[in-house]
Amino acid sequence: MAGISVTAITKSFGVTDVLKGVSLDVRKGEFVSLVGPSGCGKTTLMRIIAGLETATSGTVMIEGRDVTSIRAAERDVAMVFQNYALYPHLTVAQNLAVPLVMRRLSALQRAPFVGRFVGDAAAKLAAIAEETKRTSEMLGIGHLLARKPAQLSGGQRQRVALGRAIVRHPHVFLMDEPLSNLDAALRVQTRAEIVALHRRVGAATVYVTHDQSEAMTMSDRVAVMMGGEILQIASPEEIYLNPADIRVATFIGSPKMNVFPAEADETGAVSVDGVMIGIVSPTPGPVTFAVRPEDIVPATEGIPARITHMEFLGDCALLHAESIANKSPVICRIAPDQRPRASVGDEIRLRADPAKSFLFDAEGKRLRMMRTKAQAAYV
């Protein structure tokens, strides 16, 4: 199978298990983000794909070739590092040329002063210069070729790092938080550029980030990682609308999804703080009820809560509240004109849209839920 295929990767540092059996397939030309909080193992997984770390067990295939025990230099991968890792003593042109020089010239031809007179070194160097020039122009850094990295801005360095990665048309393109050192405005702009670049290069791309908005906006598929496991891997829409795990549900989306401890009676009817909310769990017992801020609104009936804070954001308003019984924090995203005529400290009722609510079991796994007609009418 083309692209990247990672199977049952585990990685332990001493007694700490960083990766607990991760499997991931990235097709040729696909853009997959690994997103998760720091320490979830996403960078380790990427370094294992690159060949910079060895897995404790499991296999890595690139373009159908088992590369598990092959070192990074011999895998066909390119990588953009978080701090760019440009060679400070080389000019931009030389930095861009390194991957080509290392692969095409023999050790003797790379020797200083005399190398270019060995065999066809001069012709190869001319071809490399031509290719680096083309790549630099594609990235809009053609005018910087003679500069050293220290003379470049953060955004320019980032482009050089991208250029160094794509200059030799790799089959696998790895990016480790490449935008985290840029300022907010440049980050949004560069996002779009990276996506466009990815389409042009067409390599299987793995993109590591802790920023869910980067993952959601750029990727074909998003893999949410936590605690050394991939919790869910799916398209951004699927991840948002249909989270498989409560940790995915609360990690993706801003403001965070609201979570309430809830109880299902013997018929499965779910109540939050003693109030029936119109959904039915497949199993009785304690469950977790969750709903996104835009799917819960102040109403005449529903979960009793007290307003703690209100924020006006222009296109919407955020209503912060706390449920009366369990003190669960709640955030409602509402249209500005729907703000209740109430102020901080007042008690209101909050009604969740049952069709857009989620139920999770005690382990945090998603429960398929049903809605009864009677309760639907009630709500």
How far apart are CB 111 and other proteins at their closest, in Å?
9
User: Applying CB under 8 A, does 74 fall inside the site for other proteins?
Assistant: yes
Q: Sheet holding 329-334: strands in order across? A: 296-299, 347-352, 303-312, 317-323, 329-334
User: Applying CB under 8 A, does 73 fall inside the site for other proteins?
Assistant: yes
User: Applying CB under 8 A, does 103 fall inside the site for other proteins?
Assistant: yes
User: Applying CB under 8 A, does 71 fall inside the site for other proteins?
Assistant: yes
The residue count of the chain comes to 379
How far apart are CB 150 and other proteins at their closest, in Å?
5
| One residue of 87, 117, 312, 378 binding other proteins per CB under 8 A | 87
User: Applying CB under 8 A, does 110 fall inside the site for other proteins?
Assistant: yes
User: Applying CB under 8 A, does 129 fall inside the site for other proteins?
Assistant: no
Residue 161, class by beta-carbon neighbours within 10 Å (0-12 exposed, 13-18 middle, 19+ buried)?
buried
| One residue of 1, 70, 102, 362 binding other proteins per CB under 8 A | 102
Are β-strands 221-226 and 229-234 bridged in parallel, bridged antiparallel, or unpaired? antiparallel
User: Applying CB under 8 A, does 118 fall inside the site for other proteins?
Assistant: no
Q: Which stretch binds other proteins (CB under 8 A): 84-92, 214-222, 283-291, 349-357?
A: 84-92
How far apart are CB 65 and other proteins at their closest, in Å?
17
User: Applying CB under 8 A, does 83 fall inside the site for other proteins?
Assistant: yes
User: Applying CB under 8 A, does 355 fall inside the site for other proteins?
Assistant: no
The residue assigned the tokens 């009604």 is 351
User: Applying CB under 8 A, does 52 fall inside the site for other proteins?
Assistant: yes
Are β-strands 221-226 and 31-35 bridged in parallel, bridged antiparallel, or unpaired? parallel
26/86 with CB nearer other proteins: 86
| One residue of 18, 34, 78, 216 binding other proteins per CB under 8 A | 78
Tokens describing residue 60:
């890595």
| One residue of 3, 36, 41, 51 binding other proteins per CB under 8 A | 51
89/309 with CB nearer other proteins: 89
174/348 with CB nearer other proteins: 174
User: Applying CB under 8 A, does 13 fall inside the site for other proteins?
Assistant: no
User: Applying CB under 8 A, does 184 fall inside the site for other proteins?
Assistant: no
How far apart are CB 30 and other proteins at their closest, in Å?
20
| One residue of 72, 188, 195, 299 binding other proteins per CB under 8 A | 72
User: Applying CB under 8 A, does 50 fall inside the site for other proteins?
Assistant: yes
Q: How many residues bind other proteins (CB under 8 A)?
A: 29
Sites of contact with other proteins (CB under 8 A): 47, 50-52, 71-74, 77-79, 81-83, 85-90, 98-99, 102-103, 107, 110, 148, 150, 164
